[in-house]
A and B are shown apart, each in its own frame.
Chain A
Amino acid sequence: NAGVMQNPRHLVRRRGQEARLRCSPMKGHSHVYWYRQLPEEGLKFMVYLQKENIIDESGMPKERFSAEFPKEGPSILRIQQVVRGDSAAYFCASSPKDLIRGNEQFFGPGTRLTVL
């Protein structure tokens, strides 16, 4: 059973370009979470999605960032007009059900975004 998959593992973009990060959850998991890890910082929650629904995007910057989890295919985190401050590791996690009582989240290997 494959774990959470993320691609690309490394992504280099110039300022102003768009970055698209993909996440395929574990088989049977319908809940996806995106986190960002800035250098020397802890992971920060960004967004929680279920199939075709954004449940909570309170951790997402108001502009330039968007996320989706379509009925078919991976979840996508999209960053438009990237700036140097967007350089970070972006992790996706999945779970098989609501974390009503704190079930574990399974993390992918991350995408390391570098903005030149």
Chain B
Amino acid sequence: SQKIEQNSEALNIQEGKTATLTCNYTNYSPAYLQWYRQDPGRGPVFLLLIRENEKEKRKERLKVTFDTTLKQSLFHITASQPADSATYLCALDMGGGSNYKLTFGKGTLLTVNP
């Protein structure tokens, strides 16, 4: 089965800096990879999706890279703000033709200090 590891449980940075979160996976290569944001007591909110044939995708201050050789995705938040503080989840499809089944990492808790 697919195994996902997100680089650290918690990451603290100063406002204005770039936050970089890592998602590593083992076993098969997913058709796509997604990043979600989860605030305490809330459900995950979709941020970005990147497909296996894409190297990079951007959305406003967010950037995601996908390296299928390294089996790794990097998630960047530039010019970070305290409002970016949340848990960020990496999610992959579970393969085997079941693209609807997502498997999630445990998440990285990002804290942006003012």
Q: Are B100 and A31 in contact (CB under 8 A)?
A: yes
Q: Please indicate the chain B residues that have their CB under 8 angstroms from the CB of A110 in the complex.
A: 41-43
Contact B99 A43 (CB under 8 A): no
- Given A31-B100, A42-B106, A101-B51, are A109 and B43 also a contact pair (CB < 8 Å)? yes
Whether, in the assembled complex, A99 has its beta carbon less than 8 Å from a beta carbon of chain B, the answer is: yes
Check if B45 is an interface residue, CB within 8 A of chain A. Answer: yes
Give Cα distance in the complex from A108 to B46, angstroms: 12
Chain B's closest residue to A103 (CB) is B49
Cβ 8 A contact of A107, one of B31, B43, B93, B99: B43
- Residue A63 at the B interface, CB < 8 A? no
Return the CB mask of A22-66 against B: 1 if under 8 Å, else 0.
Answer: 000000000101010000111111001000000110110000000
Whether A100 lies near B99 (C-beta < 8 A) is: yes
**Cα–Cα, bound, A99→B89 (Å):** 19
Chain B residues whose CB sits within 8 angstroms of the CB of A33 once the complex forms:
100, 102
Question: A95: nearest residue on chain B (CB-CB)?
Answer: B100
**What are the residues of chain A within 8 A of B44 when measuring CB–CB?**
43, 91, 107
Is the CB of A102 closer than 8 A to any CB of chain B?
yes
Q: Does B104 contact A (CB under 8 A)?
A: yes
Q: Which of B31, B43, B94 has the most CB of A within 10 A?
A: B43
A96-116 contact mask (Cβ, 8 Å, vs B): 1 or 0 = 001111111111111000000
- Does B46 contact A42, Cβ atoms closer than 8 Å? no
Residues of B within 8 A of A (CB): 4, 31-32, 34, 36, 41-46, 49, 51, 89, 91, 93-94, 98-107
List 8 A-B residue pairs with CB atoms under 8 Å apart, sorted by A's residue number. A42-B103, A44-B104, A45-B102, A48-B100, A55-B100, A95-B100, A102-B51, A107-B36
For the complex of A and B, list the 7 residue pairs with the smallest distance between their C-beta atoms, beginning with the closest: A107-B43, A102-B32, A104-B46, A42-B104, A99-B100, A43-B104, A42-B106
